[in-house]
Amino acid sequence: MKKTLSFIALFGFAVVFAQTAANLTEFKENIAKQKVEAKKALKPFRYDGSKVTYFNFKTYKQVKEVEIYLFNNTDYRFSFNGKSLPNDVTIKIFDEDKTVSDRILLKEVTGVKGQNLIVESADLNKTYKSKKSGASRLKRVFVDYEIPGVPGSQNKKPTMKERGAVILVMGYKN
Bridge partners (DSSP) listed for residue 56:
163
Cα(85)–Cα(44) distance, rounded to whole angstroms? 27
pTM: 0.82
Q: pLDDT tens, 99-142? A: 999 999 999 999 899 899 999 999 999 999 999 888 888 999 99
CATH assignment at residue 95? 2.60.120.380
Q: Three-state SS for 70?
A: coil
Q: Which domain holds residue 49?
A: 2-172
The total number of structural domains in the chain stands at 1
